[in-house]
């Protein structure tokens, strides 16, 4: 199974400042067709998870452009260019390249 | 927008069974898969099981293999999870997750609580 490791696990950020979350997989997430199914999810307090990014860098509809994803192979990053109050919550990376799908431990973003 | 509606959760004694359902009337069945993901109280996300709409191929987490059975009804655009021999450690919020692209967790239900306790 692909083990997903996120860092940091806690991320205090000042409003308007950038934030970055790292996600590392124990094995390459590129499949035999050259596709990499790495997603980023946001879970606000008391809500279901919501996908922000799919296939490493594709933003979902309605996701602000301050969110961006990058990476390849085993190393991936989610960046928020300027953190806003509504960004508070837990962020998970999730690999969908092979079953079982696996998740990172989650990174809790809070406002300083 | 696709809405997923889960039902069937509740309080159950260890060793008993429960069946979860998830309906998505606005969804278009395709080649992709649908899944159950669970989250213990204050904990992270754990993939439980998945099934492909067309082939019916299934997968299970080791923690539930042999006890849980996933199924789907394409005509009803519905997903099910038959949970047998329930244990205290199965207590969690269970989400159904539909893929809109391969390997993507596009749509999430609101979550249904399963509590296993005597």
Q: In this predicted model, what pLDDT tens digit does every residue of A44-84 receive, in sequence order?
A: 999 999 999 999 999 999 999 999 999 999 999 999 999 99
β-sheet bridge partners, residue B69: B82
pLDDT score, position B2? 85
Among A42, A54, A102, the strongest candidate for a mutation testing the B interface, having the largest count of B CBs within 10 A, is A54
pLDDT score, position B18? 98
Q: In angstroms, what is the C-alpha Rg of chain B?
A: 13
Residues from chain B that touch A48, judged by Cβ atoms under 8 A, are 95, 108-111
Cβ distance of A100 and B61 shorter than 8 Å: yes
* Cα A52 to chain centroid, rounded: 8
φ and ψ at residue B3, rounded to 5 degrees: -115, 130
Residue of A35, A96, A100 with shortest CB distance to B105? A96
pLDDT score, position A71? 98
Cβ distance of B109 and A48 shorter than 8 Å: yes
Q: pLDDT band for position B113 (50/70/90)?
A: very high
pLDDT score, position A24? 98
pLDDT tens-digit profile of B27-57?
887 778 999 999 999 999 999 999 999 999 9
pLDDT score, position B15? 98
> What percent of chain A has pLDDT above 90?
100
**Residues whose CB falls within 8 Å of the CB of residue A9, separated by 6 or more in sequence, listed in order:** A105, A106, A107, A108
pLDDT at A26 > cutoff 80: yes
pLDDT at B100 > cutoff 90: no
pLDDT score, position B30? 78
Q: pLDDT band for position A37 (50/70/90)?
A: very high
DSSP per-residue codes, B48-108: EEEEETTT--EEE-TTTTTTEEEEEETTTTEEEEEE-S--GGG-EEEEEEE-SSTT---EE
Element (DSSP H or E) covering residue B112? strand B112-116
How far apart, in whole angstroms, are the C-alpha atoms of residue A73 and residue B70? 31
pLDDT tens-digit profile of B69-85?
999 999 898 999 999 99
Residue of B46, B59, B106 with shortest CB distance to A51? B106
Mean pLDDT across chain A, nearest whole number? 97
Q: Residues B55-71: what's their mean pLDDT? A: 96
Q: Which long-range contacts (CB under 8 A, 24 or more apart) does A55-61 make?
A: A55/B101, A55/B103, A55/B104, A60/B106
Q: In angstroms, what is the C-alpha Rg of chain A?
A: 13
């Amino acid at each position: 199974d692909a083990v997903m490791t996120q860092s940091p696990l806690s991320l205090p950020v000042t409003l308007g400042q950038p934030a970055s979350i790292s996600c590392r997989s124990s094995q390459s997430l590129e499949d035999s067709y050259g596709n990499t199914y790495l997603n980023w999810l946001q879970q606000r307090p008391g809500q279901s998870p919501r996908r922000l990014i799919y296939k490493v860098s594709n933003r979902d509809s309605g996701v602000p452009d301050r969110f961006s994803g990058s990476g390849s192979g085993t190393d991936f990053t989610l960046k928020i260019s300027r953190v806003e109050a509504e960004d508070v919550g837990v962020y998970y990376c999730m690999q969908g390249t092979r079953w079982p799908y696996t998740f990172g431990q989650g990174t809790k973003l809070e406002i300083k | 927008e696709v809405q997923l509606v889960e039902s069937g959760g509740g309080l159950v004694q260890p060793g008993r069974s429960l069946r979860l359902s998830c309906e998505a009337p606005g969804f278009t069945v395709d080649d992709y898969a649908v899944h159950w993901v669970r989250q213990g109280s204050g904990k992270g996300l754990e993939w439980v099981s998945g099934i492909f709409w067309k082939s019916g191929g299934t997968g299970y987490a080791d923690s539930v293999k042999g006890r849980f059975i996933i199924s789907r009804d394409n005509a009803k655009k519905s997903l099910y999870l038959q949970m047998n021999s329930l244990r205290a450690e199965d207590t969690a919020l269970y989400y159904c997750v539909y893929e809109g692209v391969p390997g993507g967790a596009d749509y999430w239900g609101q979550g249904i609580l399963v509590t296993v306790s005597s």
